[in-house]
Amino acid sequence: MNFREEKMWRPAFFAGVVSALLAFSVFETAAQEFEAAQKNFVSGNYEACLRSCEKADPEGYRREEWQILHAQTLLMVGRYPEAELVVSNALARSVNSLRLRVLGYDTANASGSTWRARRRLQEINELLNSRPWAYRDPVDMVALGRAALLMGMDARAVLERFYGTAQKAEPNLRDAYLASGELALAKHDYAIAAKTYSEALKRFPDDADMHHGLARAYEPNARRRMVELLESALERNTNHVPSMLLLADHLVDAEEYVEAEKLLARALKVNPWHPEAWAYRAVLAHLRNDPAAETEARDKALRFWSTNPAVDHLIGRKLSQNYRFAEGAARQRQALEFDSEFLPARIQLAEDLLRLGDEGEGWELAEDVHKRDGYDVTAYNLVTLRGTMKKFATLTNEHFILRMAPREAALYGDRALALLERARDRLTKKYGIELEQPTIVEIFPEQKDFGVRTFGMPHNPGFLGVCFGRVVTANSPSSQGATPSNWEAVLWHEFCHVVTLQLTRNKMPRWLSEGISVYEEIQANPAWGQRMNPRYREMVLGEDLTPVSELSAAFLSPKSQFHVQFAYYQSYLVVDFLIARFGFDKLKAILRDLGEGEYINDVIPKHTAPMEQIETEFAAFARARAEALGPGLDWKRPERGPGARSRAGRSGDDPMPVTRSDTNDLKTALLNVLSPALTNLVKPATPPASGRAGSTAADTPLPRLNYWTLLEEAERLVGQEKWEEAKTALQTLIELCPDQSGPNNAYALLAAVHRGLKETEMERAALEKWAASDADALEAYQRLMELGQGSGQWQVVADNADRFLAVQPLLPQPYRFLARASEELGETSQAINAYQKVLLLDPADPADVHYRLARLLRPEDARSARRHVLMALEEAPRFRDAHRLLLELAQVLPASTNSPSSAASPP
């Protein structure tokens, strides 16, 4: 290059460099502007984001990222026609954009142009067929996955092949996490959704969408965690409408309608035309029995997209979650009229119909959804369950259809039907209702099957039974491990729901429904239901009592499982209070008005007293009930000292500490207790010296014994087999607090003490006290049967065998005791029935059982007796008594039944 050429080249070179630098600067500025706009979108500053989109450099705005952000922001604030215009204009310039077309499907539907949405699906299909190679980068893979779902591709394949591939290629791609999580939630795969959003939050900790997604994953079984995550989302984006709506959803379930309405109003300030917000308002209006407001809200939800199936689907789903299954099913049918392929409505309708007892159509719909969508977890669970239930035995009479596992049906199905009939006879008369259709009761030996039938998922959040109105589902004793609950009490409780729910047309709050059922348990059997206990006493006198007007919320977000149990107990206390204070007829009047659609907090004052007065009087009633438990005891929990032990029983007691000084105080206090039970065992303390003139020993108050210290000391003494000292402590405890229940109660410990001292009659008395107050006391029932048999008190044996079978009907021992007692009491038919059930449980000595059956059957059914004696000889060929019985039967049976081929060989 010569000098002249170099002089000519240099200015051109520097001009090119400057131009490139300027272009890079412009590009960098545009990128920064876009990033700022995107941050405003994620943080909920939608107006600022829109301003950025509108002011963006025309050259930069032509990039589809700007156009997509602009349209998404317009959708967030409810400007649906404008969002559709942005997409339409962008597509005119970017004819091959897959992402714009997928977004355009949403904007077209949202603005009511459903025909355009369908056309865009066709265009997407044409693009994928003509240019498949063009959509391979991670962002397009996410859009491709969404398009594939719209066109009916298998959801699980989309999750793995498109969203999973995009995440691997670009681990920080926000849209990939959102798409994966949303798909898992749509298919009820909450475990995958939780995993996806948890991973996303590690990369996007300040993204409200991720917090909201994880909250939705926790919604079915961890409401407290859900609420925490929603609050976290709203801290990061105060305008995050999805989080507001999910919180409102939660408040509707808690029957906190005023607070739910406040959240909906807040959401509608962000997006005045949000279909879901208006759908929730329609739900609230329906629950308030305001049809005009319901229609208005629904019309606004459908303002732009008049055939949006999601609106009626949401309304129906919420009505069903509030036990309005018939109204909910009607809404799902409306959604399917708008779009017969809308699978969420199909599976929800299937569940509604199954809960209404319309099983034929319900099961068919579940099968149909499963065929169309193999990934929908609820549909898969229901179809699998149907296969299991086809093997169930069905027992029927005029009033009930009872389904159980065949073995269980043979053991206690007849008893269950008899119990249900007693409940029906008593409760329908008491509440003045005629049930028009048979009640369906299904008892499941596997908790996961109960969970699927009840909730659509195998998870069971601690329920023993559930009633939907006409249909009851329950857990079998076999599903509850070593400590089953009294299944008879459960069925009585659930059938009471059948009565009250049908009486009110499913329009009663949960707390009242549960409270009445617990109340009726106790009316039927004082050992059933719940009673005041030390932990409940603490909660009532502490800060755990919920206002009556907010009581349904106590079931929804409990601090612990024990708080759920306390919600049941408090609900019972409110019912007990209302009946005691105002009479049973007032309760029936409340139920009648609820059936007409009136609101509980309006109906209670209408028939009783102003709600403020109810709250005050009930709180006093509950406190009095709590203070009546062991009024002479000190209930303060001792401070934990070094080396202290703790106890935590099944009744829910918190860990309780005992220190050396506590036990010293106990010994001193025991010596100062003036108790008739201890007069001959404990020497009174010497009265302290008087500190004032004229005072006497009677003027000096005796120290109060501490309940927790006394119980802990008694347990320690029992553990060390110091029977006499333990007896003194336990007798004192029982005298001061005779209301005892649960596995570690004082009566159970005292029975063990008497057994250790060989005081059989005293042991029997303690066991009877325990058994009379605890419906699940299998140990007490077992021991009482043993003692009764040993002393020939056969009625005691029969009574406690009956108690045992009400808790655990799947063991042979209680049937053996019942059979022997029935023999001795001359109850032949009951003895035969009991021995037959022993045989179903593979007894260790079947020969003896067959022999006893043969003896019992001989007077009325010699042929059956002969069959059983032959089976006894088959088990024990040298059984001489059986041979003698067979010879005796040969004298009374026709010769044809005594052929050599049917006789046993001689010994």
pTM: 0.86
What are the residues facing 645 on neighbouring strands?
A: 658
Backbone angles phi, psi at 25, to 5 degrees: -65, -45
Sorting pLDDT into bands at 50, 70 and 90, what band is 427? very high
pLDDT in tens, 841-883: 999 999 999 999 999 999 999 999 999 999 999 999 999 999 9
Both tokens assigned to 623: 């406190």
The pLDDT of residue 664 is: 44
* Predicted local confidence at residue 900, as pLDDT: 39
Average pLDDT over residues 634-644: 74
State the pLDDT at residue 678.
38
How many other CB atoms are there within 10 angstroms of residue 563's CB atom? 17
Q: What pLDDT does residue 61 have?
A: 62
Residues 6+ away with beta carbon under 8 Å from 52: 33, 36, 37, 40
Q: Please state, in angstroms and rounded to a whole number, the distance separating the CA atoms of residues 530 and 898.
A: 59
H/E stretch holding 465 reads strand 465-467
Specify the pairing of strand 400-404 against strand 393-396: antiparallel
- On the question of pLDDT at 337 being above 70, the answer is yes
Confidence at 555, pLDDT banded by 50, 70, 90: confident
Task: Tell me the torsion sign for CA atoms 136, 171, 192, 178.
Answer: negative
DSSP state of 645: B
Could you tell me the pLDDT band of residue 669, with boundaries at 50, 70 and 90?
very low
The larger pLDDT score, comparing residue 47 to residue 644, is at 47
CB 490 within 8 Å of CB 474: yes
Token representation of residue 218: 């926790």
> pLDDT of 17-29, one tens digit each?
445 444 444 445 6
The two structure tokens encoding residue 459: 């998870």
**Cα-to-chain-centroid distance, residue 291:** 31
Task: Give yes or no for a contact between 453 and 381, defined as CB atoms under 8 angstroms apart.
Answer: no
Helix, strand, coil percentages for the chain (3-state, nearest 5): 70, 5, 30
Residue 808, classed as helix, strand or coil, is coil
Q: Of 6-15, 168-177, 333-342, 547-556, which gets the smallest average pLDDT?
A: 6-15
**pLDDT at position 6 over 90:** no
The model's confidence at residue 674, banded by pLDDT at 50, 70 and 90, is: very low
Give residue 128's pLDDT: 87
Is the distance from CB of 316 to CB of 328 less than 8 angstroms? yes
Residue 683, pLDDT above cutoff 90: no
pLDDT class for 650, splitting at 50, 70, 90?
A: very low
Helix (H, G, I), strand (E, B) or coil at 439: strand
Give the closest residue to 100 by CA, choosing from 60, 71, 135. 71
pLDDT for residue 640: 66
Q: Dig out the tokens for 373 from the structure.
A: 């969508």
Q: 343-356 and 325-338 helices cross at what angle (nearest 10)? A: 150
Choice between 334 and 6, residue whose per-residue pLDDT is larger:
334
pLDDT of residue 31: 79
Selected residue with higher pLDDT from 515 and 666? 515
Identify which of 318, 331, 250 has the alpha carbon closest to the alpha carbon of residue 287: 318
pLDDT surpasses 80 at 767: yes
- Predicted confidence (pLDDT) per residue in 746-760, tens digit: 999 999 999 999 999
Cβ 270 vs Cβ 237: under 8 Å: no
**Mean pLDDT of all residues in 416-420:** 97
**Pairwise CA distance, residues 312 & 65, whole Å:** 33
Q: Answer yes or no: is pLDDT of 899 > 70.
A: no
Tokens 């049917």 locate to: 902
How much of the chain exceeds pLDDT 90, in percent?
Answer: 79
CA distances to 136, 140, 161, 167 from 133, rounded to whole Å, are: 6, 11, 16, 19
Sequence-separated contacts (24+) of 863-872 with Cβ below 8 Å? 863/893, 863/897, 865/889, 866/893, 866/897, 870/902, 870/903, 870/904, 871/846, 871/847, 872/846, 872/847, 872/848
Closest CA to 261 of 238, 236, 234, 287: 287
- Over 511-572, what HEC string results? HHHHHHHHHHHHHHCCCCCCCCCHHHHHHHHCCCCCCHHHCCHHHHCCCCHHHHHHHHHHHH
The mean predicted confidence, pLDDT, of the chain is 88
Tens digits of residue pLDDT in 121-174 = 999 999 888 888 888 899 999 999 999 999 889 999 999 999 999 999 999 999
Over its C-alpha atoms, the chain yields an Rg (Å, rounded) of 36
Q: Indicate whether 227 pLDDT > 50.
A: yes
CA distances from 155 to 159, 187, 381, 382, 839 (A): 6, 8, 17, 18, 50
Instruction: Say whether 336 sits in a helix, a strand or coil.
Output: helix
Average pLDDT over residues 207-227: 94
- Average pLDDT of span 376-383: 95
The pair of structure tokens assigned to 577 is 């209070």
185-192 long-range Cβ contacts below 8 angstroms, 24+ apart: 185/213, 185/216, 185/217, 186/155, 186/344, 187/155, 187/373, 187/375, 187/376, 187/377, 188/376, 188/377, 188/378, 188/456, 188/457, 189/375, 189/377, 190/217, 190/218, 190/219, 190/220, 190/457, 192/159
Whole-angstrom Cα distance, residue 818 to residue 801?
6
Query: What beta strand segments (E) does 251-326 contain?
Result: none
* Distance in angstroms (rounded) separating the CA atoms of residues 599 and 289: 8
**125 neighbors 101 (Cβ within 8 angstroms):** no
Given a contact cutoff of 8 angstroms between Cβ atoms, the answer to whether 810 and 410 are in contact is: no
CB atoms within 10 A of CB 24: 10
Tokens found for residue 479: 């599903």
What confidence tens digit (pLDDT) does each residue in 165-208 have? 999 999 999 999 999 999 999 999 999 999 999 999 999 999 99
Q: Give me the percent of the chain exceeding a pLDDT of 70.
A: 87
Residues 6+ apart with CB under 8 A from 555: 510, 511, 514, 564, 567
